[in-house]
A and B are shown apart, each in its own frame.
Chain A
Amino acid sequence: MTADIYKTMKANVEAVVDETPLIKTFVLKTEEAFSFQTGQFIQFTVPGEGEAPFTPSSSQFQKEYFETTIMKAGRVTGIIHSLKENDTVGIRGPLGKGYPLKEFESREILILGGGVGMAPLRSLLLTLLDEKDKYGRIVLLYGAKNPVDIVYSGQFAGWKKRGAEIYRSVDKCETDQWKEKIGVVTELFDEVKLNPSKGIAVVCGPPVMMKFGTFKLLEIGYKPENIYLSMEKNMSCGLGKCGHCALGKYFACKDGPVFKYSLIKDIGDIWD
């Protein structure tokens, strides 16, 4: 008999890190060996309660444990947020296709992120930094609503040290504590010189930000086939069976979740 594709593997919650008032990072150690390629996702199961899809936020080379960063947004994520150290959860995956890192080699990589969309992008960024010599410039443009909404706020300095160029913005800030850009994330494009005709751009964030981010990239000369979007869809099976994640003719869980913009640009409603 072949294996049960819906079976979860047990994982232990090693640590829970508060990132923002609504976002936590869970450090998980699986019972069996587990590895993933950055960009792939997992189904996170709370036994007897439900499951929801998330992308690991740690480097794919980090093997002893992995991390996933989760925003409280509904019933299942609410239960996940109440988890404590040493609780047992379930994991299914890795699911979907990762970023085609081979195609990224020796090219300039722009990472454009918004809000909790930084979670999968952190995995990508850390993976790239682990093999920094293979790639060209690594530039991160990141925007959040308020300074308190910035995830991984203590980590940006370390990423800079490892060679990433980082520009950040917040939509608004009531106090004068914020010394960087105030405005939407696309305004950061004014501050950095990029090589759009040859570069790769990777986008992940809330739907509106993905939409305007992509339009901006196209406007400044990025090619549709060089723009990669992480499409958040309602994944259920994660295996191309249940139909929930349909994105035009694709199943985002199996054919994605990362898509070249050129592949999906003609499908209506991709930004909703």
Chain B
Amino acid sequence: MKFLRKENLETFVEKMNRDSDIFYPEHNTNGSYSWARYEKGKTLSITGHRTVLPLKYFFFPPAENLKEKTGKPAIIFGARGCDVRGLQLLKKIYLDDPEDIYFRKDTLVFSADCTSCHQNCFCTVLGDEPWAEDDFDLNFSFARDGFLISAGGKKGNEILKNNSDLFEEASDSQKMEMLNARSKTKEYLRKQNEDKKINLKVCAEKAGENLDVFEKYAQTCVSCGACTNVCPACFCFFLAEGKENKIRYSDSCQYPGYARVAGGANPRRKMTPRFKHRILCKFLYRPAMQEIKGCTGCGRCISGCQGKINFRDVLLDIQAGEKR
């Protein structure tokens, strides 16, 4: 593990910025975080928690002309653990046979541990950690005087090697500081999710039958698609025919016409089966087929829901096996 002094961050970022566009989580005055493009003179900060919009749109924009990729590759500096886990599923879908060449796999992920959490975050309730454990190029953790950095693969190691003048070997006390910072964040998450325990196995077993729960929540869903749009693991799109090339639009299984076929038949015409499909997709279908769950506990769906549905509570209800 390497160590980068605080005062050297800017030099490192400047060097990386030469061949790449860098995006980082900018802290807004209302307390939220949004992706911002780094420019010389800006202070890049990677503390905090997940951004309002997920990481996925750096890999496939919400509306995209499917023709040659243009622009420099991007570096996402300060991606959160939840988003990186979501990306694992997206990669399985887009890159597994046959590979979708438009998926921006040249985007580099420099993840950073969460140092705070959003009020809707529940990654730890799903058994995940508020940091990325793999699938990053570099991961940044926090110590008093700087950052502890681990490389997650060939590209990351190369970056460390090419900039070796900036890095030191991390000391044991710095590693201790990092662990302390991590437990502090976990403690925030534990507090805000106190008494919320989710056993995904139990949920998966009960989800198939528990129509009552789906019916209850579907009542307030207005099919706006906000939940799927902000989800870091939702991948669905609609392939349209443009004037010269195909266009990909992000789509939502919560829209009424999503599954309708040409003759008009629609297996999920009603809200309840649509709502159920989304939940089962995340906790049953993707784990069965892609071996990754489709929820990362980032809670963006809760923040975005126009019908005030709390998806963490949906899981708790399913688990309880009856209406609460």
Contact = CB atoms under 8 A, between A and B. Distances in A.
Interface stretch (B41-49, B128-136, B253-261, B312-320): B253-261
Interface string A44-85: 011111111000000000000000000101101100000000
A268 B273 contact: yes
A47 B235 contact: no
Q: Which of B93, B98, B243, B273 neighbours the largest number of chain A CB atoms within 10 Å of its CB?
A: B98
Interface string A23-60: 00000000000000000000001111111100000000
Contacts of A48: 241-243
Interface string B266-291: 11110001000100110011001100
Interface stretch (A106-114, A132-140, A230-238): A230-238
Contacts of B237: 236-237, 241-243
Nearest to A70: B262
A249 B277 CA distance: 10
A76 B241 CA distance: 11
B285 A269 contact: no
B267 to A, nearest CB: 4
Interface in A1-19: 1-6
Interface string B111-126: 0000000000000000
A49 B241 CA distance: 6
Given A1-B101, A269-B267, A50 B241 contact: yes
A218 interface: no
A77 B246 contact: no
A234 B239 contact: no
B12 interface: no
A76 B260 CA distance: 14
Interface of A: 1-6, 45-52, 71, 73-74, 76-77, 206-207, 232-234, 236-237, 239-244, 246, 248-250, 268-270, 272
Nearest to B247: A6
9 contacts: A1-B101, A5-B99, A5-B101, A6-B102, A49-B241, A77-B262, A233-B267, A250-B289, A272-B267
A137 B98 CA distance: 38
Contacts of A207: 265
Contacts of B273: 268-269
A243 B100 CA distance: 14
A244 B241 contact: no
Closest 6 CB pairs of A and B: A243-B236, A249-B285, A272-B267, A73-B262, A269-B267, A74-B262
Interface of B: 66, 93-94, 98-102, 235-243, 246, 251, 253, 258-269, 273, 277, 280-281, 284-285, 288-289
Contacts of B102: 4, 6
B268 A269 contact: yes
B93 to A, nearest CB: 6
B275 to A, nearest CB: 13
Given A233-B261, A272-B266, A246 B281 contact: yes
Contacts of B251: 236, 242-244
Contact of B253 (A45, A51, A52, A243): A243
B288 A232 contact: no
B239 A236 contact: yes
Contacts of A237: 237, 239
A118 B149 CA distance: 62
Contacts of B235: 241-243
Contact of A45 (B241, B264, B266): B241
Q: Which of B236, B253, B261 neighbours the largest number of chain A CB atoms within 10 Å of its CB?
A: B261
A155 B309 CA distance: 56
Nearest to A77: B262
Nearest to B287: A249
B101 A2 contact: yes
Contacts of B269: 272
Nearest to A239: B98
Contacts of B261: 232-234
